[in-house]
Structure 1
Amino acid sequence: MAKMTIGVLIVGIYSALTFYLGWGLKQWLEAMKWFHFPVLYWLVLYIISFSVIIGRVHKSLRLFSVIGNYWMFIFEYGLLLCVTAQIVLWLTPLNNIRLVGSVAVMVFLILWIVGSYLAYSPVVRQLNITMDKMDSELSSMRVVVASDFHLGVLSNKKHLQRFVNLSNEAKPDVVFLAGDIVDDDPKWFVQEGMADVMKQLTATYGVYGVLGNHEYYGKKIPAFVEEMKKAGVEILRDETILIDNAFIITGQEDITNKERQQLEALKLNEHLPWLVMNHTPDDLTTPAQAGVNLHMSGHTHRGQLWPNQYITARVFELDYGYKKKGQMHTLVSSGFGFWGPPMRIGSRSELWVVDITFQ
C-alpha cells in the first residue's frame, strides 16, 4: 500500500511538472499566434511524456521508446528554460513573452545540437601512470578503457564502429569494457549485427568486459554473455585470470547482484600487477586496501546532462576521471555511449588510453 501511495505521488508530481512545461510552451505559442487545437495539444503532450512506459508495453511500440528517450532531454531542459523565462518576465522590465520565449526556444535548439554533437563525437583521453613492476616481465603496457555503450536503437552500430576505429588506432595490449555494454536487452546488438563490428577490435592480450546494472535490468545475461563471446569479448563474472604470467585481470559482478563475491576472495597472486573492473565505483576503499593496482569503472556518465554531474559528484567518491588512492590508480569513465537521450551537456562520449609504465 505504501509503495502504491509513493507511486501515485511520483506520477502526480511528474504530471504537474509536465503541465507546467506545457503551460509555458502554450504561452509562447499563443504569443506567436501558433496555438491551435488545445485538446489535441495536451493529449499529444501527455502521450509523449509517458512514451517511455508506453514503449515497454509491446515491441511493436518501439517508436515510443525512442520518443521517450528524446523526451528526457526535452523535459529537463524545457523545465530549466521555462523557469528561467518566467523569472526574467517577473523580475525584469523585459515583459515580452514573444521575445523571451523565442530566446528560450533558440537556446533549447542550440543545446539540442551541441548535446547531439558531444554524444556522437567521442574523444580519446590520455593517461600515463606508473606502478610497481613486482614479478611482471613487462616494462610497459597500453590499455583502452571504455564503458556505458548502451548499445541499442540510438547508440547504434555506427557509433560502435567509431569506438573500434579509435581503439584500434591506439594499438592497445588490452581492451577493457567496464559494463553497460548493451542497453538492457542484447536483441538490438544481435539484430543490427553489431558483433561483426566488435570482432574488429584488436589487442595483444584480448578484450574483456564485465556486467553493468543495465545487463541485469535486461534479464538476459546468459544470452548477452554468449553474444559477447561470439563478438570476441570475454565477460568476467567474479572471475580472475592470469595473463602470460605478466599481470592479473579481475572482473567483478555489478553491485546490482547482491550475491556477488567479495573482492578479497578473487585475489589470485600477490606478486603481479592487479587490474580490476567494477562497473559501479561504489567502494574504492576495499580494492585499495586489497592491493589493486588499477581499478576501472563507469556507470556515472558524469551526469550526462548538466547540472546532473553535481549529483553524481556527491554520490560517489570519484564520479569521473583519475584519482590515486593510496597505491591504487582509479579511473572512472563518463562512457562511450549514453542512456536515454542521445545528448550530452557537461560531459562527452569518450574512451581512455592508459599507458602503464612498470618500475
Structure 2
Amino acid sequence: MSLFFIIFFTVYTSLNYYIFIRGWQTIGNYPLVKIIYLILFVLIAYGYVFAKIFYKVLPPLMYDIWLGVGAIWFAFFVYFILSLLLLDIVRFFDSKFLFLPEIFRSGNYDIKRYTALVVIAIVSIIVFLGNLNKRNIEIRTLEITLPKGQSKLSELNVVMASDIHLSPIDGELLLKRIIDKMNSLNPDIVLLAGDIVDDKAEILEAREIGKSFHKLKSKFGVYSINGNHEFINGVEASVLYAEHLGINTIRDNYIFIDSSFYVIGREDRAMPQFTGKQRKSLKEIISDVPKDYPLILLDHTPFNLEEAEKNNINLQLSGHTHHGQIWPANLITKMIYEVSWGYKKKGNTHFYVSSGAGTWGPPVRTGSSSEIVNLKIKFK
C-alpha cells in the first residue's frame, strides 16, 4: 500500500508541476503575482490531501472548505492535463508544418495569457456541467426472473445503490435526494453495495451527515456491505456509524430474509491491505446455505464474476467502478472490468454493476451518470 501511495504522489506531483509551470510561463515579470500563484497552487492542488492529514487540528469549517476545494481540483486537474497535452501536440505539428500564424510561435505573453484564459474557461464549463450532471440521480429499472425454489414470495421489489460516498462535500443534501428517490419506489428491501462513507465516522457524525437514513422505509430492512472506503476510513467505526443509522452490515456472512431468500455480503477485496486479514471465499461463506432458495450476493468490487457463477449465486450486485465518473476514465474501467457498468448474465447468474449514487473526490460526472437501481424480481 505504501508503494502505491509513493507511486501515486510521484505521478500526481509531476503532472501538477506540468500544469503549474505552464501557468507560471504566462505570468511574466511580476514577482509578487508569482509568489501568490505558487502558494495558491500548492494549497489548492494538495488541499484534499492536506485536509485529510490535518483534520484533527483544523476548524470544521476550514476542513470542509479545504476538502471541497481540493476535491474539485481533481476534475480541473484532469481536464487541464488533457488540454495542455492537446496544445502541445498542436505546437509539435506546427513546428513541423507551420500551419499556425507566426504570432503563435513568437513567445508573445499576450497570446499565452489569452490561450490560458480560453483553457480555463473551457475547463470551468466542463466541470460546471459535470457537477450539474452529478446532481441528476437517475433511476434504472431492471426486471429479472429468478428460480423460486422454496421461497414463499412470487416477487420482490429491490432498491439498490452503491458508492454514496458521504462527506462534507455534498453531505446531507445529497443523501436526502437519494433517500427521497428510494422511498418513491416503495422498496421491499434496500441493498447498498458498499462505499457509503467517504470520510471518517467521527467527522460525519459531528456534522449530522447520514440522519436522512432514518427516513428510509423498507419492508424487510436496509442491508449493506463494506467497500474499500469503509476500510480506508476505519472499518469498525464505519460499521458502527452505519448501524446507528439503521443499516445492517453483512460481513462475510448471510441473512435469511422472510424465510424466502438469502442476502449474502462479502467484505471488500481491499480488506487485506488495511487489516492484514483475508476475506472469506464465497464458497466458505455459503457452505451451509441451502441451495433451494434464491441467493442474492453483495460484493463491492466486480472482479472474478465467475466465482459467483460457480457457486450458483442467482444475482450479484456490485459498484466501485463509478463507470469511470470522469471522462476518459470510463474508457479505462471498461478495459479493467468485465462489467464496468450495467447488466450481464453469465450462465444462470445475473449481475448488475452500478455506477454509484454519489461521487468520490470531485462532485463531478462527465463519464457516467449517478443512479439508483430498481430491480423488479419475479420468482418462478
Pick one of 135, 142, 157 that aligns with 1:127.
142
**Residues 1-359 of structure 1: pairs in structure 2 closer than 5 A:** 7=6, 11=9, 13-27=11-25, 37-59=33-55, 60-61=57-58, 62=63, 63-90=65-92, 91=94, 92-93=99-100, 95=104, 96-97=111-112, 99-219=114-234, 221-258=235-272, 259-267=278-286, 268-359=289-380
In 2, distance between residues paired with 1:139 and 1:160? 31
CA contact (8 A) 2:172 2:210 kept: no
Alpha carbons of 1:10 and 1:346: their partners in 2 closer, same or farther (altered >3 Å)? closer
In 2, distance between residues paired with 1:4 and 1:256? 15
Q: Encode CA deviations 1:298-344: one digit per residue, 9 max, x unaligned.
A: 11111111111122122221121110011111011111111111111
Amino acid at match of 1:265: E
Alpha carbons of 1:136 and 1:5: their partners in 2 closer, same or farther (altered >3 Å)? closer
TM-score, reference length from structure 2: 0.86
Q: Encode CA deviations 1:167-189: one digit per residue, 9 max, x unaligned.
A: 00011111011101011411233
| Runs of 5+ consecutive residues of structure 2 not aligned to the other structure | 105-110, 273-277
Amino acid at match of 1:293: N
CA contact (8 A) 1:85 1:100 kept: no
* 2:271 alignment partner, SS class: coil
Amino acid at match of 1:222: E
User: Which shifted more, 277-286 or 179-188?
Assistant: 179-188
In 1, distance between residues paired with 2:34 and 2:240? 51
Alpha carbons of 1:140 and 1:260: their partners in 2 closer, same or farther (altered >3 Å)? same
* 2:37 alignment partner, SS class: helix
In 2, distance between residues paired with 1:111 and 1:36? 30
Number of equivalenced pairs = 353
In 2, distance between residues paired with 1:196 and 1:184? 15
Shift of 1:29: 5.6
User: Which shifted more, 256-265 or 319-328?
Assistant: 256-265
Alpha carbons of 1:5 and 1:52: their partners in 2 closer, same or farther (altered >3 Å)? closer
Name 2:275's counterpart in structure 1: none
Shift of 1:70: 1.6
User: Which shifted more, 152-161 or 185-194?
Assistant: 185-194
Q: Encode CA deviations 1:153-178: one digit per residue, 9 max, x unaligned.
A: 11310100011000000111110111
* 2:367 alignment partner, SS class: coil
Q: Encode CA deviations 1:204-235: one digit per residue, 9 max, x unaligned.
A: 1111000011111112x333222222211111
Q: Encode CA deviations 1:251-282: one digit per residue, 9 max, x unaligned.
A: 11111223211111222111111001011111
Amino acid at match of 1:17: L
In 2, distance between residues paired with 1:270 and 1:253? 22
In 2, distance between residues paired with 1:332 and 1:46? 37
In 2, distance between residues paired with 1:355 and 1:34? 64
CA contact (8 A) 1:210 1:235 kept: yes
| Runs of 5+ consecutive residues of structure 1 not aligned to the other structure | none
Aligned-CA RMSD value: 2.4
CA contact (8 A) 1:207 1:234 kept: yes
User: Which shifted more, 153-162 or 128-137?
Assistant: 128-137
* 2:323 alignment partner, SS class: helix
User: Which shifted more, 133-142 or 44-53?
Assistant: 44-53
Amino acid at match of 2:355: S
Amino acid at match of 1:298: G
* 1:18 alignment partner, SS class: helix
Alpha carbons of 1:38 and 1:123: their partners in 2 closer, same or farther (altered >3 Å)? same
Amino acid at match of 1:288: E
Amino acid at match of 1:93: L
Shift of 1:35: 9.5
TM-score, reference length from structure 1: 0.91
Alpha carbons of 1:239 and 1:290: their partners in 2 closer, same or farther (altered >3 Å)? same
Shift of 1:36: 6.0
* 2:52 alignment partner, SS class: coil
